[in-house]
Amino acid sequence: MRSQTEFSPLNLFALPAGGDFIDLRTRFHQIGVFFWACVIFPPYFIAEQYFSFHTTRYWPILLPLYGLVCLAPLVYLATQSLKCYAAYTVTIGVGLVFVIMACAGGNESPGAFWLAGTPWVFGLFYGVRGVWVGAFVMAVTFATFVGANHIGILPNLVAEAGSYEQVKLINLVGFGIYNILISHYFIRLEASAKRELHKQRQETENLLRILVHDVANPINAIQLMNQAAKTGRYDAEQIMALVDNALGELTSIIQQVRKLRALKDGKLALELAPASMRRMLLETLALMDEQARQKQLAFETEIGDAPAEVLVDAALMKNVVIANLVGNAIKFSRPGQTVAITLLQSRDTVTLTVADRGIGMPQSLLGNLFNPCESTTRLGTAGEPGTGYGMPLAKTILSKLNGEIDVVSRQDPADSGTTVTIRLPSWSPADSHRH
């Protein structure tokens, strides 16, 4: 599936979205800043030749060069190459500045200090090597200007007009404004890239923790089946079927975590298809039934016969959302209690409620339940470990599906427990015409 993209006003074309392309987008934005500097500043100096120096004899060179600068985005769209885009933009842009400078006297021009920006520009495009290349280009250009002035072949429109100090002041102001704006923007751009990279690293760590959390359910199911085989509670065929099912779920979870990483990185769009919430719920309950039995828990279900269809990524919904809700209810229930599971369908909404009568949650934990940056993990009533990242991921998935999740929890000794409710837009065949 194609990567997601986002339009860049600086570059006038779409750039790859997502965490894996932070550095690439930063490079494009830096090139875009230089591109717009070459688009905005040169017209003033080109127009100055007409209005202040009353000549257009160098326009046949300057105007085509300026037109070539404006074509830089098209070069990238035609080549899809960052290197070609960068090389074209820096070559034409710097070349245009040098020609404008040559028209004003080269090294004797009032804006000769613009030459000092050459190493910076090349460094922006090509890193440390670019700085040295830029320094070489600056030195060669300056030497060329000196030689050309020595033999008297360079024009000097500023000297001819007798307005050297005025033009020098304008250049100083322009150079100062340029450096202030560019420095401010680049500092902000770097800070933004650092924040995005930090967020990406944090999300990667979260997904790893979630992977550990979610694979625990099928692994536990396999372990429990192994124990059941030793006690003779199930025959070999039943055990093999259940183990095979658990292994299939384990493989599916690993695939879905990869998919989640791709979703967060913008490499993959969510694959939505109509799916029966009833079927997904029953499959999850079947997988987790032995886990509930081990804690002497019973499922009280009110599911009905309606398929309760929703438009979702079925594997994500089952393995990430439903499994987390049911798994948490089992984890925090006391032996001998029941877990009530209700599935309701209205004309517009499918509602799934998972309610336990377990130990509940304190309000401080409840307030951070969906925040992946806060530690919310706790041991279950039988010492079951957790990561605290299952619920944040469940909320993330539901938000992508236009769904909602609500949690109510009590720690009253006489009435404790947690109720989690999720709501999703219901789907019907008539809706297919709108998607």
- Give the pTM: 0.52
- CATH at 392: 3.30.565.10
How much is the pLDDT for 267?
Answer: 61
- Residue 284 sits in the same domain as residue 421: yes
How much is the pLDDT for 379?
Answer: 79
As given in the structure block, the two tokens for residue 34 are: 């230089």
In a domain, 179, yes or no: no
In a domain, 185, yes or no: no
Three-state SS letters, the chain: CCCCEEEECCCCEEEECCHHHHHHHHHHHHHHHHHHHHHHCHHHHHHHHHHCCCCCCCHHHHHHHHHHHHCHHHHHHHHCCHHHHHHHHHHHHHHHHHHHHHHECHHHCCCHHHHHHHHHHHHHHHHHHHHHHHHHHHHHHHHHHHHHHHCCCCCEHHHHHCCHHHHHHHHHHHHHHHHHHHHHHHHHHHHHHHHHHHHHHHHHHHHHHHHHHHHHHHHHHHHHHHHHHHHCCCCHHHHHHHHHHHHHHHHHHHHHHHHHHHHHCCCCCCCCEEEEHHHHHHHHHHHHHHHHHHCCCEEEEECCCCCCEEEECHHHHHHHHHHHHHHHHHHCCCCCCEEEEEEEECCCEEEEEEEECCCCCCHHHHHCCCCCCCCCCCCCCCCCCCCCCHHHHHHHHHHHCCCEEEEEEEEECCEEEEEEEEEEEECCHHHHHHC
Q: Give me the residue label for tokens 């495009």.
A: 125
- Residue 131 sits in the same domain as residue 273: no
How much is the pLDDT for 139?
Answer: 95
Looking at 117, 137, 162, the residue that finishes a domain is 162
How many distinct structural domains can be found in the chain? 2
Contacts of 372 (CB under 8 A, 6+ apart): 202, 203, 206, 389, 392, 393
344 CA to centre of own chain? 35
- Residue 213 sits in the same domain as residue 297: yes
Residue from 334, 234, 356, 215 nearest 290 by CA: 234
In a domain, 175, yes or no: no
- Residue 259 sits in the same domain as residue 362: yes
Q: Give me the residue label for tokens 């959390």.
A: 213
- The answer to whether the beta carbons of residues 39 and 178 sit under 8 Å apart is no
In a domain, 99, yes or no: yes
In a domain, 191, yes or no: no
- The answer to whether the beta carbons of residues 350 and 315 sit under 8 Å apart is no
- Residue 139 sits in the same domain as residue 207: no
As given in the structure block, the two tokens for residue 177 are: 């404004």
As given in the structure block, the two tokens for residue 141 are: 């250009």
- Residue 213 sits in the same domain as residue 335: yes
- Residue 317 sits in the same domain as residue 397: yes
In a domain, 125, yes or no: yes
Report, as ranges of residue numbers, the positions in the chain whose pLDDT lies below 70. 1-22, 203, 206-207, 209-211, 213-214, 217, 234, 252-253, 255-270, 372-377, 385-389, 430-435
How much is the pLDDT for 322?
Answer: 93
In a domain, 180, yes or no: no
Query: Pairing relation of β-strands 273-276 and 309-312?
Result: antiparallel
- Residue 101 sits in the same domain as residue 147: yes
Burial class (CB in 10 A: 0-12, 13-18, 19+), 47: exposed
How much is the pLDDT for 352?
Answer: 95
Looking at 113, 137, 162, the residue that finishes a domain is 162
- Residue 229 sits in the same domain as residue 366: yes
- Over residues 36-72, the pLDDT tens digits come to 888 988 888 888 878 887 778 888 999 999 999 999 9
- Residue 140 sits in the same domain as residue 243: no
In a domain, 57, yes or no: yes
Looking at 106, 136, 162, the residue that finishes a domain is 162
- Residue 265 sits in the same domain as residue 321: yes
- Residue 401 sits in the same domain as residue 279: yes
How much is the pLDDT for 400?
Answer: 83
- Domain limits for position 131: 5-162
